[in-house]
Chain A
Amino acid sequence: MKFWERVSGVDRRILYAVLALAVVLPLFFRPRPSARVSAPVRDAYNAIDTLAPGSVVVISIDYDPSSAPELQPMMLALLRHCFSRNLKVIITAQLALGLPLGDAALGIAAPEHGKSYGTDYVNIGYRPGGGAVMLGIGRELRGYFSTDTRDVPVDSFEFMRRVHNYRDIAVVVSLAHGAVADWWVQYVGARFNEPIVVGCTGVNVSSMFPYYKAGQIAGLLAGMQGAAEYESLVGRPDKATKGMLAQSVAHALIIALLVVGNVGFLLSRRRKAKA
């Protein structure tokens, strides 16, 4: 009994060290692609995969570096998928600090597929206003984004000349770590009947599932697991796939700690009841 009490009272710094090892060590092992693909991820994949070449996809970077480990692999996998299907991509952001993350992903995915700025993709940047910007694009994109992030008029890009509002945009993808994905669903999906695909962090997935179950979003990528599944569908296992082993070990460690902590708790409670 003393053993369990001693274990359940272990110094938190030891727990931190064990967790650090549980996360870091698996990163040195070879990643294994996700064998099982969940329905929400497959639906997200199909929403992009069934688009005709030349269709326009808007990817909104609604996250900043704090959530990049989960959402940046999604961004990269989505870009690879879009470019492999010869889709035109418009990058925008509802968080200004997310924009360079989009540029970083484009810097990897575009050269891989021989895609060039202006011809295959454009970065129109960030405007303050949130829901107002989303609604405004429904009337005319140029009302908010007359130029791209380099101050080049969007009409100087051939494919952008035919993009005016959501009627010209096949799918909007929101990669979000907060409530911004809700805005896309509520302001754009509900009002303009625009197909929305959401990629969110693991902690946000519970608020997104009602939209998915109600058919209000076309697909859902949830956390690093969602990103890993998308990577396996695209056929390019990358950082999310690699990270899943670390996440597996971390989850197993947390479960083990829960069990140990509760055994110690129950034993000490029984001892107190006897005394």
Chain B
Amino acid sequence: MLRNGLPLIIVFVTAMLLIVAFFIPHKPFGDLESRFLNWYSIVAGFTFLLGLDSLTRHHLVRVIRRREGWFYSLMLVLSLFTTLALGFYSWIRFKDPFSAGSPFDWLYRSMIIPLQSTMFATLAFFIVSAAFRAFRVRNLAATLLLVAACLVMIGNVPVGSDIWHAVSRLAHSVFPRVDAGALGRVELFATVKDWLMKIAQTSAMRGIGIGLSLGGIAMSLRIILGIERTYLSS
């Protein structure tokens, strides 16, 4: 009873207090919310320790048992603790880990920035490879997606505007009655891109957002009312 019942009671009472505090932000509920927020921040800080513990255990086990890719796990653990050590040293010695000239600042500028930038930049290469090999017009939906993607890509960069202005001038040279300036101001690619972003994709995103929110509310209610108890299982 105590093992299962007590956490359910704590969840229910806390949730009710926070809901009441949201709608009545005055004493005593307002102060309670403030206190809960402080507790949440402290707990959030400790989750880093939890993550550190979990990550280290997982990778040390891989290293000790010589599982496939153990060398990468070793590198991860060594990098993790080197970063931690340099961070603490810089914090104590320079008062701020990011102080100019501190070892942690050097690590940040010489390792973390280039490595993170490289990881993100490699995405471009994968996108190109995927676009070339996997993005195929197999059916109507895929064709529509491909056309929309091309229009957004071309409408989102200045070269799209250049192409449209060139088309406008070409139209004027072939049909002199066409006003190249007025046609150029239409900015067809950018206009189509704006329409796709503001109307077509926003409608879809709203649907997804509403679905996610309703799902979130339903799940929250299930947890508050003690129907959903998977978080209790160890």
Contacts and interface: CB of A to CB of B under 8 A. Distances in A.
Interface of A: 8, 10, 12, 15-16, 19, 23, 32, 34-36, 38-39, 64-69, 97, 99-100, 103, 127-130, 132-133, 135-136, 139, 143-144, 149-151, 202, 205-207, 209-210, 213, 223, 225, 244-245, 247-255, 257-258, 260-262, 265-266
Contacts of A205: 197
Interface centre among B108, B124, B158 (most CB of A within 10 A): B158
B119 A66 contact: yes
> What 8 pairs across the A-B complex have the smallest Cβ distances?
A129-B41, A248-B159, A248-B157, A66-B120, A66-B116, A65-B113, A132-B40, A65-B116
A41 to B, nearest CB: 12
A57 to B, nearest CB: 23
Contact of A19 (B120, B125, B206): B125
21 contacts: A12-B129, A16-B125, A16-B129, A19-B125, A38-B190, A38-B194, A65-B117, A100-B109, A129-B41, A132-B40, A132-B41, A132-B44, A206-B197, A207-B209, A210-B209, A247-B157, A254-B127, A261-B133, A261-B135, A265-B136, A266-B137
Contacts of B45: 128-129
Contacts of A223: 156
Contacts of B129: 12, 15-16
Interface centre among A16, A38, A39, A251 (most CB of B within 10 A): A251
Interface in B102-153: 105, 108-109, 112-113, 116-117, 119-120, 124-125, 127-129, 131-133, 135-137, 146, 149-150, 153
B93 to A, nearest CB: 15
Contact of B197 (A133, A139, A209): A209
Interface of B: 30, 33-34, 37-38, 40-41, 44-45, 47-48, 95-96, 98, 105, 108-109, 112-113, 116-117, 119-120, 124-125, 127-129, 131-133, 135-137, 146, 149-150, 153-154, 156-161, 187, 190, 194, 197-198, 201-202, 205-206, 209
B205 A207 contact: yes
Nearest to A202: B156
Contacts of A8: 132
A186 to B, nearest CB: 10
A103 B98 contact: yes
Given A68-B117, A132-B44, A225 B156 contact: yes
Interface of A is mostly: helix
Given A144-B41, A151-B95, A244-B158, 10 more contacts: A15-B129, A66-B119, A97-B112, A128-B41, A143-B34, A213-B202, A223-B156, A255-B150, A258-B150, A261-B132
Contacts of A135: 33, 37
Interface centre among A36, A150, A253 (most CB of B within 10 A): A36
B205 A254 contact: no
B124 A19 contact: yes
Contacts of B125: 15-16, 19
Contact of B128 (A132, A143, A253): A253
B104 to A, nearest CB: 10
Contact of A252 (B95, B132, B159, B187): B159
A129 B194 CA distance: 36
Nearest to A99: B98
B11 to A, nearest CB: 17
A249 B159 contact: yes
Contact of A100 (B47, B95, B105, B161): B105
B20 to A, nearest CB: 15
